[in-house]
C-alpha cells in the first residue's frame, strides 16, 4: 500500500509558534504518523516514550487546558497496594514554548508502603521535513551526541535539539538517548522529575510574534458556549502568531498546525480581517508583511506577477506528490483582492492614516494586477491556470484538485473563473475607490470597472435549475457554468456585486437543509453529484467558510439568517472542546448527534479560531467606521444567545462596552471619545 497522509483527529496538540507538539492521547510521542516536536517545519524530536520499570502508564485522562499546555494521567498498577483501587499514578505536565518543550513528571503514591522504581525516557530525532511527514513518509533517526548533562541532535540546515533531564543519568542507545531516574517514594508521597528539549535555529524564516497580543474583552452571556469558544479561540490565535525575523513588530497569524504553521496570503489575510474587532495591529502587520513580498515580475514557475500577493512562504521547496511548490509561491487567485479589502477594512477600524498611506503604492500595484493581469484570456473574469505544471491545479480557497465540479460530479477543466473571486475583486476595487477618495487621491476608473464586472457577472454566472436561482460555482475553460450548488456563493454577500433581490435569493438558498444541515455550512450541497461528507472541499464543513457567510449575511441585512447559521457553528464547537478544527465532516444533525471529525484536519487553525470573533460581532450587530466616527450596534432580534454584555473591546485608542437584553435591545453603550452611534 502506498504511503498515506497521517491522521490528526485523535492526537493531543499543544503549540507556541513556531513550535508544535503532537502526541498520543496518553502523552507518549511515538515514532509514527505526525507525532513529534515540530519547529519551523522540521521534526526536531520524533520520539519521547516514558516508562516506569519498563511499563507504559495506562492512560485514564488527557487534556489541553491552554494552547501551549498538555496534561496526561496514567496508572502504574504494577506498583502500590493490592486491590482494585490504583494507588500509584503518573501525571505529565507538558508546556510548549517557541523554542521547544518541557515536561514535569509527577509520580503520586497513596500506597501504605515505600516504593522504588526506575523511570526511563527514550528520545530520538529525525529532522523530517513537514512535507515528508504529510505524505506519510519516513526518515531515519539522527544519532545523538550524549554527555553527562545533555543529549544533542543536529541537522545540516542549522537546527539543533538539546535534551536536558534534571537528576537523570543520560546514555546513548543507538540513535536514541535515554534519560534514567531512580526514584524512591516514601509511603503516601510524591516525586517530581523534569526534562526539556531546547531548539536553536541558526537562520529562522519566522520568529514568535511577541509584539502583538489579541485583546481579550470580557464577555458574559446567557449562552456560555460563546464565552468558552471566544476564550479558547483567542488563546489559540495568540499561540499561532509569527513575524519575519527582520521585522519582528509586523505580526501575522500563521495558518494552522501542523501542516500550515507559516505565512499564507489568503489564510493570514482572512484571519486578520475576521479579527479586526480584537486587533488592528495584527491587520497592519499582515498587510506590511505581504506587501514586502508583493510580486514585481512575471515568473510562471512561481506564479509571480507584478502587484500579486503571494500564496505561501516556506524555507524550502515543498514537494507533495506531483506538486513542487517553490519556497515563495504565488499560486493564488484571490489573495490580492483580499489584501486590498483588508487594507480598507483596517482603515475603517482605525488603522492610523500614516500607516495606510505608506501602503498606497502597494495598493495601486495590487489594483493593477486585478484590472490588468488577473484575466489572461480577456473574457472579463479573473481566472487561474497552473502554467508551471507542478503547482496548485485550483487556486481559490478550495484548492484541492477535485474541488470545482459540475452538479453531475464532473470536474471542471481549467482555466477556472470562481464566483467568489469576482465578488472579492468587485469589493476590492470599490473599497479602494472609497479609500483613495477619502485620502484625497484620484480613484480613476475604478468604480466604472466594478460596474462592468457586476453587469458581466449577472449575465454569465446565474443558474436556473428547477425552482432554484443561484450563482454558479465557476466558469470552466470552455466558459460553461459550473452549476454545482456550493458555499462559494455565500462569499458574494456584502461585496456589492449583488442587488437586493440576488442577495435574498442566495441567503435563502444557503440556509437550505442540503447546505446548512445543523453544524454549519457544507462546502457543497449533498444533492450534488460530487458530494461526500468526508471530501476535503466537496461536502465537508469549514468553520471559516461558515463564518464568512455569517458575516456576509449580516452585511447584506439578513441578520436573522446570520444568527441561525452562526448558532449552528456554535453548536458544532462544543463537540471539539471549543477548538474549532480546520474542517470537519459534512454529516448533518439528521445523520449524527455530534459532528464527525475530518481525520487529517489541522487544529488550531487561524481562520477557524477567528470564527468565534465573527459570531460575537454578528450577535452584537456591530459595524465600525472610525474615519467617519460612527459605530452601529444593531443586534438580531431576539438575541440568539440571550442577554449579552461585552466590555473592553478595543476601538480607536479606547474601548467599546455594550450590553443587549434577550430581546436584542441595546441597554448600554459606551464609546471612546469622538465616536458616535
Q: CATH 1.20.120.330: does it fit domain 12-204?
A: no
In terms of pTM, does the model score above 0.85? yes
Give 12's DSSP letter.
E
What pLDDT sits at residue 319?
A: 86
Residue 157 pLDDT > 90: no
Per-residue confidence band for 677, with pLDDT thresholds at 50, 70 and 90: low
3 state SS of 101: strand
Q: Which residues contact 473 (CB under 8 A, 6 or more apart)?
A: 404, 405, 412, 418, 419, 482, 483, 484, 485, 486, 488, 489
Angle subtended by helix axes 335-348 and 265-274, to nearest 10: 20
Strand partners, 588: none
CA atoms within 13 A on the CB side of 232: 25
pLDDT digits (tens, 9 = 90+) for 371-384: 999 999 999 999 99
Among 358, 361, 313, 367, smallest CA distance to 340 is for 367
Burial tier of 277 (Cβ tally within 10 Å: 0-12, 13-18, 19+): buried
* Cα distance between residue 67 and residue 20, in whole Å: 10
What pLDDT sits at residue 581?
A: 97
pLDDT digits (tens, 9 = 90+) for 379-434: 999 999 999 999 999 999 999 999 999 999 999 999 999 999 999 999 999 999 99
Average pLDDT, the chain: 96
* Cα distance between residue 33 and residue 205, in whole Å: 25
Cα–Cα distances (Å) from 291 to 60, 360, 375, 526, in that order, read 49, 10, 22, 40
In angstroms, how far is CA 316 from the centroid of its own chain?
Answer: 21
Residue 232 pLDDT > 90: yes
Q: What percentage of the chain carries pLDDT values higher than 70?
A: 100
Q: Rounded mean pLDDT of 592-614?
A: 97
Residue 559 pLDDT > 90: yes
pLDDT digits (tens, 9 = 90+) for 275-315: 999 999 999 999 999 999 999 999 999 999 999 999 999 98
Residue 186 pLDDT > 70: yes
Residues 68, 98: contact at Cβ < 8 Å?
no
pLDDT digits (tens, 9 = 90+) for 31-87: 999 999 999 999 999 999 999 999 999 999 999 999 999 999 999 999 999 989 999
CA atoms within 13 A on the CB side of 381: 25
* Cα distance between residue 378 and residue 177, in whole Å: 62
Strand partners, 51: 120
Residue 318 pLDDT > 90: no
What pLDDT sits at residue 466?
A: 81
Per-residue confidence band for 435, with pLDDT thresholds at 50, 70 and 90: very high
Residue 675 pLDDT > 90: no
Q: What is the longest distance spanned by two Cα atoms in the chain?
A: 86
Residue 252 pLDDT > 70: yes
* Cα distance between residue 321 and residue 303, in whole Å: 19
Among 393, 387, 401, 381, smallest CA distance to 474 is for 381
pLDDT digits (tens, 9 = 90+) for 650-670: 999 999 999 999 999 999 999
3 state SS of 48: strand
* Residue that wins the pLDDT comparison between 266 and 1: 266
Q: Which residues contact 146 (CB under 8 A, 6 or more apart)?
A: 152, 170, 171, 172, 177
What pLDDT sits at residue 465?
A: 85
For the chain, give every domain's residue range.
12-204
Residue 248 pLDDT > 70: yes
What pLDDT sits at residue 1?
A: 61
Amino acid at each position: 500500500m502506498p504511503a498515506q497522509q497521517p491522521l490528526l483527529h485523535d492526537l493531543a496538540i499543544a503549540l507556541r509558534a513556531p513550535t508544535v507538539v503532537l502526541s498520543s492521547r496518553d502523552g507518549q510521542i511515538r515514532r509514527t504518523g505526525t507525532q513529534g516536536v515540530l519547529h519551523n517545519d522540521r521534526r526536531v524530536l520524533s520520539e519521547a516514550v516514558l516508562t516506569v520499570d519498563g511499563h507504559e502508564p495506562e492512560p485514564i485522562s488527557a487534556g489541553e487546558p491552554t494552547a501551549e499546555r498538555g496534561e496526561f494521567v496514567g496508572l502504574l498498577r504494577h506498583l502500590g497496594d493490592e486491590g482494585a483501587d490504583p494507588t500509584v499514578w503518573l501525571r505529565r505536565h507538558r508546556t510548549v514554548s517557541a523554542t521547544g518543550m518541557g515536561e514535569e513528571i509527577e509520580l503520586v503514591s497513596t500506597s501504605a508502603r515505600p516504593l522504588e522504581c526506575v523511570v526511563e525516557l527514550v528520545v530520538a530525532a529525525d529532522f523530517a521535513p513537514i512535507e515528508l511527514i504529510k505524505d506519510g513518509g519516513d526518515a531515519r533517526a539522527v544519532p545523538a551526541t550524549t554527555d553527562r548533562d545533555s543529549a544533542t541532535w543536529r541537522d545540516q540546515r542549522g537546527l539543533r535539539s538539546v535534551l536536558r533531564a534534571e537528576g537523570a543519568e543520560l546514555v546513548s542507545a543507538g540513535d536514541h538517548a535515554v534519560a534514567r531516574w531512580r526514584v524512591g517514594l516514601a509511603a503516601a508521597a510524591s516525586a517530581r522529575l523534569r526534562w526539556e528539549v531546547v531548539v536553536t535555529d541558526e537562520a529562522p524564516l519566522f520568529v514568535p510574534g511577541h509584539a502583538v497580543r489579541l485583546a481579550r474583552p470580557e464577555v458574559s452571556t446567557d449562552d456560555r458556549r460563546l464565552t468558552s469558544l471566544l476564550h479558547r479561540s483567542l488563546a489559540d490565535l495568540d499561540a499561532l502568531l509569527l513575524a519575519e525575523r527582520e521585522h519582528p513588530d509586523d505580526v501575522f497569524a500563521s495558518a494552522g498546525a501542523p501542516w500550515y504553521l507559516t505565512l499564507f496570503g489568503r489564510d493570514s489575510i482572512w484571519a486578520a480581517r475576521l479579527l479586526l474587532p480584537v486587533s488592528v495591529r495584527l491587520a497592519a502587520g499582515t498587510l506590511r508583511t505581504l506587501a514586502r513580498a508583493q510580486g514585481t515580475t512575471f515568473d510562471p514557475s512561481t506564479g509571480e506577477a507584478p502587484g500579486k500577493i503571494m500564496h505561501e512562504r516556506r524555507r524550502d521547496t515543498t514537494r507533495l506528490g506531483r506538486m513542487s511548490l517553490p519556497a515563495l509561491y504565488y499560486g493564488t487567485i484571490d489573495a490580492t483582492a483580499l489584501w486590498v479589502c483588508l487594507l480598507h477594512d483596517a482603515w475603517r477600524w482605525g488603522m492610523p492614516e500614516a500607516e495606510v498611506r505608506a501602503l498606497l503604492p502597494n495598493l495601486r500595484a495590487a489594483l493593477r494586477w486585478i484590472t490588468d493581469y488577473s484575466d489572461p484570456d480577456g473574457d472579463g473574469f479573473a481566472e487561474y491556470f497552473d502554467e508551471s505544471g507542478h503547482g496548485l491545479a485550483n487556486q481559490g480557497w478550495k484548492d484541492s484538485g477535485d474541488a470545482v465540479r459540475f452538479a453531475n460530479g464532473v470536474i471542471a477543466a481549467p482555466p477556472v473563473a470562481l464566483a467568489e473571486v469576482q465578488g472579492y475583486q468587485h469589493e476590492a476595487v470599490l473599497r479602494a475607490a472609497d479609500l483613495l477618495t477619502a485620502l484625497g487621491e484620484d480613484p480613476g476608473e475604478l468604480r466604472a470597472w466594478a460596474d462592468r464586472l457586476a453587469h458581466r457577472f449577472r449575465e454569465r454566472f446565474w443558474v436556473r435549475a428547477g425552482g432554484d436561482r443561484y450563482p454558479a460555482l465557476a466558469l470552466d475553460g470552455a466558459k460553461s457554468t459550473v452549476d454545482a450548488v456550493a458555499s462559494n456563493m455565500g462569499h458574494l454577500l456584502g461585496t456589492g456585486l449583488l442587488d437586493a433581490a440576488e442577495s435574498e435569493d442566495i441567503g435563502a438558498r444557503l440556509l437550505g437543509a442540503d447546505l446548512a444541515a445543523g453544524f454549519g455550512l457544507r462546502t457543497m450541497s449533498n444533492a450534488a453529484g460530487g458530494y461526500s461528507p468526508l471530501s476535503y472541499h466537496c461536502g465537508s464543513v469549514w468553520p471559516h467558510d461558515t463564518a464568512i457567510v455569517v458575516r456576509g449575511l449580516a452585511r447584506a441585512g439578513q441578520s436573522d439568517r446570520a444568527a441561525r447559521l452562526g448558532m449552528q457553528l456554535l453548536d458544532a464547537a462544543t463537540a471539539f472542546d471549543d477548538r474549532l478544527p480546520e474542517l470537519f465532516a459534512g454529516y448533518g444533525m439528521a445523520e449524527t448527534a455530534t459532528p464527525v471529525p475530518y481525520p487529517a484536519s489541522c487544529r488550531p487553525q487561524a481562520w477557524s479560531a477567528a470564527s468565534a470573533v465573527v459570531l460575537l460581532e454578528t450577535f452584537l450587530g456591530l459595524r465600525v467606521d472610525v474615519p467617519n466616527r460612527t459605530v452601529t450596534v444593531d443586534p438580531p432580534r431576539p438575541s440568539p444567545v440571550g442577554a449579552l454584555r461585552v466590555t473592553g473591546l478595543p476601538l480607536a485608542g479606547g474601548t467599546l462596552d455594550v450590553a443587549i437584553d434577550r430581546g436584542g435591545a441595546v441597554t448600554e453603550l459606551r464609546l471612546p471619545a469622538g465616536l458616535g452611534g
